[in-house]
Chains A and B, each alone.
Chain A
């Protein structure tokens, strides 16, 4: 099993550009989530999904969109990138929110 995979590993964007961060898992997990990690701020939940077709907002959802058309994939979309979105983004999956979260390797995003 590949576990949780994220692409790209690193991305540079200009302010106002859009992009999609990809996340995929091959463990048939129902629960998937996106976090951003900033120095001193820990892991802040952006959006999460408890199954295909179901998504909900986390702590810091503004500026991000998600969809969950399949169990395996949970892409995160930045519609109009801002410098405040410079961060490291982690995707995670698990059977439920209250079980072991398996994290991907992260995507480092720089917005100029």
Chain B
């Protein structure tokens, strides 16, 4: 089955700097790669996703890149702000309607003022 590894487990960056979180996956059939943000005491919420027919996707300060050959994908947050402090999860899934989605172990991002 699918296995998703996520690094680093914790990340501290200065406000205004960029943050990068990386994930690798094992199942070559996976072609859907979302990223979720979890704020304290809440359930995770989708912030961006990418499918295997594209290599990069941007949404304002957030971007995700995908390298299917190497089976890894990354989340990039630019111009970080205090409200970016949270736990971030990557995930992977094949797009079959019967497929499950598997999450990485999470990255706790802290933004230093």
Residues of A within 8 A of B (CB): 4, 30-31, 33, 35, 40-45, 48, 50, 56, 58-59, 90, 92, 96-101, 103-106
Which B residues touch A56, using CB under 8 A?
100
B73 at the A interface (CB under 8 A): no
Contact surface of B with A, Cβ cutoff 8 Å: 1, 6, 9, 31-32, 34, 36, 42-46, 49, 89, 93-106
With A35-B103, A42-B105: A98-B89 Cβ-Cβ less than 8 Å: no
Does the CB pair A104–B43 fall under 8 Å?
yes
Minimum C-beta distance from A97 to chain B (A): 5
**A88 CA to B99 CA in the complex, in Å?**
24
**Given A41-B105, A43-B106, A45-B103, do A96 and B42 touch, yes or no (CB 8 Å)?**
no
A-B Cβ contacts below 8 A, count: 73
Which of B9, B43, B96 is within 8 Å of A105, CB to CB? B43
Do A96 and B103 touch across chains, with their CB atoms under 8 A apart?
no
Q: Could you list 25 A-B pairs, sorted by A, with CB under 8 Å?
A: A4-B43, A31-B97, A35-B103, A40-B106, A42-B103, A42-B104, A42-B106, A43-B106, A45-B100, A59-B102, A90-B44, A96-B95, A96-B96, A97-B94, A97-B97, A97-B99, A97-B100, A98-B32, A98-B96, A98-B97, A98-B99, A101-B44, A101-B46, A101-B101, A106-B43
